[in-house]
Amino acid sequence: MHHTIEVKDLRFKYPDGHEALRGATLSVAPGEKVALVGPNGAGKSTLMLHLNGILHAEGGEVCVCGLPIRKENFGKVRAAVGLVFQDPDDQLFSPTVFDDVAFGPLHMGLPEAEVRERVNAALAAVRMGDYAERVSHHLSVGEKKRIAIATVLSMNPEILVLDEPSAGLDPRARRGLIHLLRDLPQTMLVSTHDIRMVAELFPRTAVMDGGRVVADGPTPEILGDPALLAAHGLEA
């Protein structure tokens, strides 16, 4: 597989008639870490939900890892793309941290020894190796976010897609998250309002507004354009 994201002229309308995507186009190359920024309602989360088939495009094309997003490819696509939601409670529902992180590999039908190996590796990657027997809903927001990332890392994804990963974090937890994401090897697309995190972590930034990608380029250039940021409700 190619570890890539290719979105071309993507269009989507919700059942209430709201047109969330109006021809969005975006490419992410293998190994890139790209920030996706824009005002509320710009279409960022809607675009991300197309990347593993949760939402289905009404027009345009979406390919990940060289695979078109079609029903016959859902199994391969969802194994390749790890989607981390903004609210970690949407992904943590099992009695213990171990059970949460093991959920995906177990449903892949992997043998117990491999499941345990994947869980241990995923928890180590998010620096939560001592938390396997903890109860997920007793953790702090920052700890929950790390465990939510581990639940997708245990599936060995090629691409990570994260929606507002630093939302609700205190400065210390935010700093730890930045270091964690910097160290992960996967191709990465991250939707965020955290402009400081964008500046510290992402070489490239794409700006969405009105259901389209309206600017895309090196992060210093995007963040160094006050008129562009102001026009799309962003602050450097």
User: Would you kindly state where each structural domain of the chain is located, as residue ranges?
Assistant: 5-231
pLDDT at 2 over 70: no
Asked whether 98 and 154 are in contact (CB, 8 A), the reply is no
**Residue pLDDT, tens place only, 124-152:** 999 999 999 999 888 999 999 999 999 99
**Residue pLDDT, tens place only, 79-136:** 899 999 999 999 999 999 999 999 999 988 899 999 999 999 999 999 999 999 999 8
Q: Which one of 3.30.70.260, 3.90.105.10, 3.40.50.300, 3.40.50.1370 gives the CATH number of domain 5-231?
A: 3.40.50.300
Beta strands in the chain (DSSP E): 5-13, 19-28, 33-37, 59-64, 67-68, 81-84, 159-163, 187-191, 204-209, 212-218
**Residue pLDDT, tens place only, 154-173:** 999 999 999 999 999 999 99
Dist CA 208 CA 29 (whole Å): 18
pLDDT at 1 over 70: no
**Phi and psi for 50 in degrees, rounded to 5?**
-85, -15
Q: What is the DSSP secondary structure assignment for residue 142, as one 8-state letter?
A: H
CA-atom Rg of the chain in angstroms: 18
Q: What is the DSSP secondary structure assignment for residue 58, as one 8-state letter?
A: S
Predicted TM-score (pTM) of this structure: 0.93
**Residue pLDDT, tens place only, 203-219:** 999 999 999 999 999 99
Q: What ranges in 15-140 are assigned the alpha helix state H?
A: 44-49, 74-80, 97-107, 112-125
Dist CA 235 CA 229 (whole Å): 6
